Structure 1
Amino acid sequence: MEMKNIRNFCIIAHIDHGKSTLADRLLDATQSVTEREKKEQLLDNMDLERERGITIKSHAIQMDYIYKGEPYIYNLIDTPGHVDFSYEVSRSIAACEGALLIVDAAQGIQAQTISNLYLAIEHDLEIIPVLNKIDLPGAMPDEVSDQIIDLIGCKKEEILHASAKEGIGIVEILEAVAERIPSPKGNKDEPLQAMIFDSVFNPFRGIEVYFRVFNGEIKKGDNIKFINTGKSYEADEIGSLKLKQQPKSVVSTGDVGYLISGIKVAKEVKVGDTITLTDNPGKAVQGFENVKPMVFAGIYPVDTSDFEELRASMEKLQLNDASLVWEPETSAALGFGFRCGFLGMLHMEIVQERLEREFDMTVITTVPSVQFHAYPKKGEMLKVSAPSELPEVGDIDHLEEPYIRAQIITKDEFVGPVISLCMDKRGEIKNQVYLTQSRVELTFEIPLAEIVFDFFDKLKTISKGYASLDYELMGYRTSSLVKLEILLNGDRVDALSAIVHRDKAYEWGKRLCEKLKELIPRQQFEIAVQAAIGTKVIARETVKALRKNVLAKCYGGDITRKRKLLEKQKKGKKRMRQVGNVEIPQEAFMAVLKLD
């Protein structure tokens, strides 16, 4: 296939604007799937994606299309819409020349639409605006078209109208891809340059690498080299990504394909790396920047002997989810485990689910936190991503916490509640713009630690689901932070500690003690649940002991007899408390998330 007839494009949109359904219709229209293979959201092949109705992974697929009598190859990448998976989107965009920007005609432009659009514009992608769901009774094609024109400055007639569910406007989209999206640039006579944009682990054949060729060509049996890791392999099988993989003898400039070379070690494949030939090496492609994790949490095996198995599972999962960052750590309460960096709370939830489903690992996740910067009185700045890493209070000069710039788009009737929610989270309002008469864009600067837990849920609740959130990291600012520790019978439980703002520490400690009192099962002895800052206890609750009624046999008689029995019982309880240890259930570690 000549390079001028290849089109590489992705679909970008806010969550739930109909990307995956539109991808289904494009596959139907190009006859890339048979009747037998058809199903809803065909590219979402993970159980989790189908259950939750969201796309978690980018999915690449190749289609053949005849336009004006000429055959074209379309490489389509369907991307996720949720802010927690924006790294998937940035990788897909790096492999494309154009993007379909899908906007829901009933909901209009939302925060993630804008942020994905800016990603695409930074990479000089050709944007084709598509107004989806025009068949809905609540659709507002004219208003939403005006919003799109304001956003990207296109002409009204350039906006395509479609309904993925009803199959309206699909042919127009396919024709627009051929006409408007430029063909790939590159030279097939130059040394091979292919960028890896995704990879998956196949238990039978090793690691499958998905790549896009920028220059040169790769043939079956070639000796290839990964520039970043410096490892060399033989290309056992290469081919195109149809619905099922289709082996070919050569993948040329501008095309997208897969490579299997029997790689068994997960560390040897890095997304964003460049593939070149061993005997005629090319230069590395400038890929995309490294991922910046926002939320950190510990993941531990329930049974400490499963640690190595968990490590292997994490390596395989990281192949498929390049935005997961982890390193080993130990905890006094939980033993050996990993400190993981996630892009957000949904990402953390999905990783935990995938470990349990795909790798059969039962894990305990500790309280999520963000990365702080601690400046000791002597020495260099320390990066602290877990409370246990924080130096003693007396040794610290000051602490800095990460701040984000949050963009919230909502209806005008919810502006008051949204502002008060952000103020409550120590946010400052920076800007307020009316996009239309009834839609407002609010910009806040908020500490990241405040939005880690339940901010998104609360935002959705107060705006009846109409607010959309997008955020970016701004930098670090000095803050009055303290380490809040939880003590059970005087023993510190490092997995329950948290770094919180001084003004909120008392409230936080009090509520956490109350929550733990409900969750920790009663023992034969009394358990003191305390919250402390340094050596100062700021809150306490007591889990009462289970007691046998030792007075049951005493009826009447002298009070001293009863007292003697109670004293004896008290001594036993005291001795028991010294040797007994407190079992902490998994729910207790997640209690912090459920604090109102």
Structure 2
Amino acid sequence: MKTDHIRNFCIIAHVDHGKTTLSDRLLESTQTVQKREMQEQLLDSMDLERERGITIKSHPVSMLYKHDGQEYLLNLIDTPGHVDFSYEVSRSLAACEGALLLVDAAQGVEAQTVANANLAMEQGLEIIPVINKIDLPGAHPEMVEQQFEDILAIPREDCIRASGKSGIGIDDILEAVVTRLPSPRWTDCDQTRVLVFDNVYDTYKGVICYVRVFSGSVKPGDEIVMMGTGQKAVVKEVGRFSPKMLPEKDLGAGRTGYIVTSIKDLAEIKIGDTITLSADPAAEMLPGYKEVRPMVFSGLYPLDTNDYDKLKASMAKLQINDAALVYTSESSVALGFGFRCGFLGLLHMEIVQERLRREYDLDIISTYPSVVYNVTKTSGEVVEVDNPLFLPDPSEIDFIEEPMIRATIHTPTESIGDMLALISEKRGVCDHTETVDETRVMLSCDLPLNEILVDFNDRLKSITRGYGSMDYELNGYAVSDLVKLDILVNAEPVDAFSSIVHRDKAVGKGRALCDRLKDILPRQMFKVAIQAAVYGRVVARETISAMRKDVTAKCYGGDITRKRKLLEKQKEGKKRMKQIGKVSIPQDAFVKILKTTN
């Protein structure tokens, strides 16, 4: 097919604005999938995606569409909407020339809508604005059209009103894709250049690359080279998605599809890399290849220490399907051998853990999430610390910098007071407010990344009764008064409970942890002190009372001194026992405490 009859586009939107449902209607309308094979969320292949109603992975599909008697090939990529998967979105945008920007007619333009629109504009993509769910009782399409003009500077005349559920406006969208979007770009390069925008691992075929061919062509038997890693391989199979994989003779310029190679090692293909032919290699890589930078770190350990090798193999397989996952081996006195993993955010961390449990049948435990701190020593050396155990001695620290984020929060007008109080509580500063319309306000604020890790999003949704939304991006580092909080059980520090916190919050967090541990840890034959300490200074303490045998039970009457003598003897025994006794913390105690703190 001629390149001027090919269109590559993706669907971008905020979470739950109807991207996948609209994709289903497009597949149905172009008869790519027969009605008897149709099901809801067709492109969401994971059980996890169907259960949660969110898209986690980008999903490509090719459709044939007739317009004015001409046949067009439409290559669609359905993308995730959550901020944690923005790396997926940016790679999908790099493989397209246009984007359908979807907005819920009842919700309006939200934080992630603005972020995704800016990503598309930076890549130079043509944007088609679509107002979805216009058949809902609470739909306000006129208001949304006004928001497109005011916030994104997109003319209201360009907007298409549609409904993915009832099929309204689907033909208008397909016509706009053909008439408004440009044909494939960069096809005039003499050499073959292919962008890898995703990978999956197949037990029988090995690594399958999801690709977009920009120039030249690829066919089975060709020897290819990865420009990022220099790895060479032979192509075994090429094809397109319809939506299942269909083998073809070759993949030409402008096409989206897949390549099966002879590569079996997961580390040899990087997502975002450029593939070229080894016989006639290209001089320049395609733009879009960048190393992902994780924001949140957490330790993952198998509940059964014998499962360590199984976890190691599973992490390697999962990483090829999720380029944003970064991990290194580590060990803990309390939890044994495991991995220090880097994630893009808390939802990403939750999804990875759930996939390990389901897809690889592993029981795992995660440590308290933390971020990467820049620690400048008195000697002038700067070290990156993502684990509290590696924090240098306080006498060697000059200052500590923590990562900051620039957050954009959309909130109803009546919730602005509570929202500002929450931002202040989390050590944030709101420096700009902008009225979106008569009911909503957009707040721009700077916050420490560490403060939004655990409960910020839940509290935001609670304060705004579900109408609030947030998008954020990393915004450099700032000097902060941070300390290491240690938890000591019977004067022995437990490394799994250590964390880096702000000095003002150390006492409160220490008390909460000690109080929780007092209820979880089993009683011993002697008193056990649970202490929270900042650099050796105890800031909170709880005591687990000893199990005590009634040694005076055999004394029926008689002189009181007999009872006192027995009690004193018991007291001395308890004191000796405490000096030599060790408290072994059971595994389920770690599980309980980490579940409550996560």
The TM-score normalised by the length of structure 2 is: 0.96
Identity of aligned residues (%): 54
Aligned-pair CA distance for 1:157: 2.4
Deviations 1:19-43 (A, max 9, x none): 1100111111011112332111111
Rate the CA distance shift 1:575–1:252 in 2: closer, same or farther, 3 A: farther
C-alpha contact (below 8 Å) 2:226/2:275 kept by paired residues: yes
Deviations 1:349-397 (A, max 9, x none): 1111111111112111001111111111114100011101100111111
Tell me what 1:195 maps to: 195
Tell me what 2:77 maps to: 77
C-alpha contact (below 8 Å) 1:519/1:588 kept by paired residues: no
1:16-95 correspondence runs (5 A): 16-95=16-95
Aligned-pair CA distance for 1:593: 7.0
Rate the CA distance shift 1:75–1:571 in 2: closer, same or farther, 3 A: farther
Matched, 1:183 2:163: no
Aligned-pair CA distance for 1:444: 0.8
C-alpha contact (below 8 Å) 1:296/1:371 kept by paired residues: yes
* Amino acid in the other structure paired with 2:60: A
* Amino acid in the other structure paired with 2:109: I
Matched, 1:498 2:505: no
How many residues end up aligned between the 2 structures?
596
Tell me what 2:295 maps to: 294
Tell me what 2:403 maps to: 402
Deviations 1:433-491 (A, max 9, x none): 11112210011111111111111111111111111001111111111111010111111
Aligned-pair CA distance for 1:585: 4.1
* Amino acid in the other structure paired with 2:384: K
Cα distance in 1, alignment partners of residues 592 and 474 from structure 2: 26
Tell me what 1:360 maps to: 361
Matched, 1:160 2:157: no
Deviations 1:488-519 (A, max 9, x none): 11111111111111111111111111122122
Rate the CA distance shift 1:407–1:594 in 2: closer, same or farther, 3 A: farther
Aligned-pair CA distance for 1:575: 5.3
Tell me what 1:444 maps to: 445
Matched residue SS, 1:337: strand
Deviations 1:500-539 (A, max 9, x none): 1111111111111112212223344432211001111111
Rate the CA distance shift 1:416–1:584 in 2: closer, same or farther, 3 A: farther
Tell me what 1:10 maps to: 10
Deviations 1:273-310 (A, max 9, x none): 11111211113212243222111111112233322221
C-alpha contact (below 8 Å) 1:94/1:288 kept by paired residues: no
Matched residue SS, 2:89: helix
Cα distance in 2, alignment partners of residues 171 and 555 from structure 1: 95
Cα distance in 2, alignment partners of residues 392 and 309 from structure 1: 36
RMSD (Å), alpha carbons: 1.8
C-alpha contact (below 8 Å) 1:487/1:530 kept by paired residues: yes
Matched, 1:254 2:254: yes
Aligned-pair CA distance for 1:185: 2.1
Tell me what 1:383 maps to: 384
Deviations 1:381-421 (A, max 9, x none): 00011101100111111111111111101110000000000
Rate the CA distance shift 1:249–1:525 in 2: closer, same or farther, 3 A: farther
Aligned-pair CA distance for 1:564: 4.1
C-alpha contact (below 8 Å) 1:496/1:589 kept by paired residues: no
Matched residue SS, 1:250: coil
Matched residue SS, 1:388: helix
Matched, 1:532 2:572: no
Cα distance in 2, alignment partners of residues 237 and 92 from structure 1: 22
Aligned-pair CA distance for 1:423: 0.4
1:79-158 correspondence runs (5 A): 79-158=79-158
Matched residue SS, 2:399: strand
C-alpha contact (below 8 Å) 1:239/1:250 kept by paired residues: yes
Tell me what 1:170 maps to: 170
* Amino acid in the other structure paired with 2:115: S
Greater CA deviation, 518-527 or 447-456?
518-527
Rate the CA distance shift 1:593–1:478 in 2: closer, same or farther, 3 A: farther
C-alpha contact (below 8 Å) 2:193/2:286 kept by paired residues: yes
Aligned-pair CA distance for 1:570: 4.2
C-alpha contact (below 8 Å) 1:367/1:590 kept by paired residues: no
* Amino acid in the other structure paired with 1:268: E
C-alpha contact (below 8 Å) 1:367/1:589 kept by paired residues: no
Matched residue SS, 1:236: strand
Matched residue SS, 2:72: strand
Deviations 1:297-350 (A, max 9, x none): 111122333222212111111111111111122222222221111111111111
Cα distance in 1, alignment partners of residues 86 and 569 from structure 2: 64
C-alpha contact (below 8 Å) 2:13/2:81 kept by paired residues: yes
Cα distance in 1, alignment partners of residues 360 and 374 from structure 2: 35
Cα distance in 2, alignment partners of residues 242 and 567 from structure 1: 82
Aligned-pair CA distance for 1:572: 5.0
Cα distance in 2, alignment partners of residues 241 and 188 from structure 1: 25
Rate the CA distance shift 1:576–1:192 in 2: closer, same or farther, 3 A: farther
Greater CA deviation, 205-214 or 295-304?
295-304
Rate the CA distance shift 1:376–1:586 in 2: closer, same or farther, 3 A: farther
Deviations 1:166-215 (A, max 9, x none): 11111111111001111102337722111110001111211111111111
Greater CA deviation, 555-564 or 339-348?
555-564
C-alpha contact (below 8 Å) 1:519/1:585 kept by paired residues: no
C-alpha contact (below 8 Å) 2:520/2:592 kept by paired residues: no
Aligned-pair CA distance for 1:555: 3.1
Matched residue SS, 1:219: coil
* Amino acid in the other structure paired with 2:356: L
Cα distance in 2, alignment partners of residues 533 and 490 from structure 1: 13
Aligned-pair CA distance for 1:547: 3.3
Cα distance in 1, alignment partners of residues 170 and 370 from structure 2: 45
Cα distance in 2, alignment partners of residues 17 and 189 from structure 1: 38
Rate the CA distance shift 1:457–1:220 in 2: closer, same or farther, 3 A: same
Aligned-pair CA distance for 1:233: 1.2
Tell me what 2:435 maps to: 434
C-alpha contact (below 8 Å) 2:406/2:474 kept by paired residues: yes
Matched residue SS, 2:460: helix
Matched residue SS, 1:149: helix
Aligned-pair CA distance for 1:568: 4.6
Rate the CA distance shift 1:560–1:192 in 2: closer, same or farther, 3 A: farther
Matched residue SS, 1:36: helix
Cα distance in 2, alignment partners of residues 48 and 422 from structure 1: 32
Tell me what 2:585 maps to: 583
Matched, 1:487 2:488: yes
C-alpha contact (below 8 Å) 1:405/1:443 kept by paired residues: yes
C-alpha contact (below 8 Å) 1:510/1:531 kept by paired residues: yes
Cα distance in 1, alignment partners of residues 551 and 564 from structure 2: 10
Q: Identify unmatched segments of 5+ residues in structure 2.
A: none
Cα distance in 2, alignment partners of residues 512 and 139 from structure 1: 46
* Amino acid in the other structure paired with 1:384: V
